[in-house]
Amino acid sequence: MVAEGGPVGDHVRMSTSGRLKAALAMVPGLEGMVLSPAARERLDAVVDLVVTTAVAGPVDVPAEAAASVEVLVTGWGCPALDAGALAHLPALRLVAHAAGTVRPLVTDALWERGVVVTSAAAANAVPVAEFTFAVIIMAAKDVFAIRDRHREARGLRPVVDHARMGTRGLTIGVVGASSIGCLVLERLCTLEVDVLVADPYLAASEAEAMGARLVDLDHLLGASDLVTLHAPLLDDTRGMIGAGQLARMRDGAWLVNTARGGLVDTDALTAEVVSGRLRAFVDTPDPEPLPSDSPLYDHEGAVLTPHVAGSLGNETTRLGDLAVTEVERFVAGEPPLHPVVRVDMDRIA
């Protein structure tokens, strides 16, 4: 409803309902992709949006409305919530991020204010895990090479090494028991494979509960037929898969990267693939995209996709659903499902 005294803008609503006031901060127009009609209805049922459409950032909320905003639903493109942004939103109590990582968003000023921060990284983990699991199945079946041979043969049955096809009896190595890594581990339990996991923060009992055996990274690399990366990109994980680590991998093994390209030394990986010793599936290269003359584009031992493992299309509404759930819980006085706390920032993606 419009505040007494006249309109304050085409998309600004001033409410006297007594409910918490909220705003959306993300790439304008993105809210229609992230928030399904049902999610928007749920959001409208528990808070009053002071601006009916998303704004690019907190400082873009009109001043007359910003002073009352206690809930900010953020998404891709929202700038850092620094001291200036927080000064514009003096009543802010909750940031519900309808996307994955909050690293570009959070600042010391936000933590010092005591604002509750939640993330939809758990929702974004679902399509990445699904994608990765599908890649593992197809890589084990040698589908990518068979596709190329079948295209060339035009109907003739391609010659394949049947003895090496399939997942049964393989050893799969999962690097990182992150949100995505855990979902991949869960899916691997449906296969007849041996699963190894390497993660410095994981206990052996936790790995066992997920159907895996905890080992160190060097052991995992040397024992696995396929290695899939799910570690966060941090200062101490950047380049964690270099020439030395790749050299430990079995001849013919696959390296699957749907995490971050910076985890891998691209030059070293390229050399191993071009030599024919290793095979690679890379959704997130470094640099991104790879130079147009990279040998990986055309080599039969490499499969490249343009960063499509994460939420796209109808998958993006899962992010909005979780963010709205966090808002509903906050309004009801319930603890968040997926809080982000300052102490975890050194180890999360």
159 with 295, same domain?
yes
Sheet-wide strand order for 254-257: 213-214, 194-198, 171-175, 226-229, 254-257, 279-282, 302-304
58 with 186, same domain?
no
85 with 146, same domain?
no
Q: Is the pLDDT of residue 318 over 90?
A: yes
Pick the catalytic residue from 113, 213, 219, 307.
Answer: 307
Q: Is the pLDDT of residue 30 over 90?
A: yes
pLDDT digits (tens, 9 = 90+) for 186-232: 999 999 999 999 999 999 999 999 999 999 999 999 999 999 999 99
pLDDT (average), residues 271-299: 98
- The reported pLDDT for the residue numbered 347 is 81
pLDDT digits (tens, 9 = 90+) for 50-100: 999 999 999 999 999 999 999 999 999 999 999 999 999 999 999 999 999
Would you call 277 a catalytic residue per the annotation? no
Q: How many CB atoms lie within 10 A of CB 243?
A: 13
- The reported pLDDT for the residue numbered 154 is 86
d(CA 53, CA 28): 7
Pick the catalytic residue from 41, 64, 288, 300.
Answer: 288
Tokens for 75?
């998404």
The whole domain housing 64 covers 21-119+314-346
- The reported pLDDT for the residue numbered 17 is 60
184 with 277, same domain?
yes
Q: Are 267 and 239 in contact (CB under 8 A)?
A: no
DSSP helix/strand/coil, 104: coil
Dihedral pair phi/psi, residue 194, rounded to 5°? -95, 135
> For all residues of the chain together, what is the average pLDDT?
93
- The answer to whether residue 194 sits within a structural domain is yes
247 with 297, same domain?
yes
pLDDT bin (cut points 50, 70, 90) of residue 155 is: confident
- The answer to whether residue 13 sits within a structural domain is no
Sequence-separated (6 or more) residues with CB below 8 Å from residue 127: 309, 310, 311, 312, 315, 318
174 with 276, same domain?
yes
181 with 248, same domain?
yes
pLDDT bin (cut points 50, 70, 90) of residue 2 is: very low
pLDDT (average), residues 35-41: 98
d(CA 26, CA 54): 6
248 with 325, same domain?
no
Tokens for 15?
């409410």
- The answer to whether residue 7 sits within a structural domain is no
Work out how many domains the chain is built from and give that number. 2
pLDDT bin (cut points 50, 70, 90) of residue 150 is: confident
Q: Are 172 and 190 in contact (CB under 8 A)?
A: no
- The answer to whether residue 261 sits within a structural domain is yes
Would you call 230 a catalytic residue per the annotation? no
d(CA 130, CA 310): 10
Distance set, CA 333 to CA 97, 112, 117, 164, 336 (Å) = 18, 21, 15, 55, 9
- The answer to whether residue 10 sits within a structural domain is no
Q: Are 139 and 279 in contact (CB under 8 A)?
A: yes
Dihedral pair phi/psi, residue 241, rounded to 5°? -110, 90
Tokens for 153?
């043969």
Pick the catalytic residue from 88, 97, 230, 260.
Answer: 260
83 with 200, same domain?
no
- The reported pLDDT for the residue numbered 313 is 96
- The answer to whether residue 275 sits within a structural domain is yes
Sequence-separated (6 or more) residues with CB below 8 Å from residue 165: 140, 141, 142
- The answer to whether residue 8 sits within a structural domain is no
183 with 234, same domain?
yes
pLDDT digits (tens, 9 = 90+) for 234-281: 999 999 999 999 999 999 999 999 999 999 999 999 999 999 999 999
* CA-closest candidate to residue 85, choices 95, 100, 99: 95
Q: Is the pLDDT of residue 11 over 90?
A: no
Count of residues for the chain?
349
Q: Is the pLDDT of residue 158 over 90?
A: no
- Classify each residue of 255-269 as buried b or exposed e, where b means 16 or more C-beta atoms within 10 Å of its C-beta: bbbbbbbbbbbbebb
pTM above 0.85, yes or no: yes
Would you call 338 a catalytic residue per the annotation? no
- The reported pLDDT for the residue numbered 152 is 86
> Per mean pLDDT, which of 9-18, 92-101, 140-149 is the most reliable?
92-101
d(CA 339, CA 94): 10
DSSP helix/strand/coil, 85: helix
Q: Is the pLDDT of residue 3 over 70?
A: no
pLDDT (average), residues 28-52: 97
What's 25's domain CATH number? Answer: 3.40.50.720
- The answer to whether residue 14 sits within a structural domain is no
Sequence-separated (6 or more) residues with CB below 8 Å from residue 43: 22, 35, 49, 73, 324, 327
Q: Is the pLDDT of residue 10 over 80?
A: no
165 with 38, same domain?
no
128 with 115, same domain?
no
Q: Which residues are paired to 254 by β-bridges?
A: 226, 279
Task: Report the run of H or E that residue 152 belongs to, with start and end.
Answer: helix 143-153
Q: Is the pLDDT of residue 12 over 50?
A: no
- Classify the C-alpha dihedral 294-133-319-178 as positive or negative: negative
pLDDT digits (tens, 9 = 90+) for 161-198: 777 799 999 999 999 999 999 999 999 999 999 999 99
pLDDT bin (cut points 50, 70, 90) of residue 344 is: confident
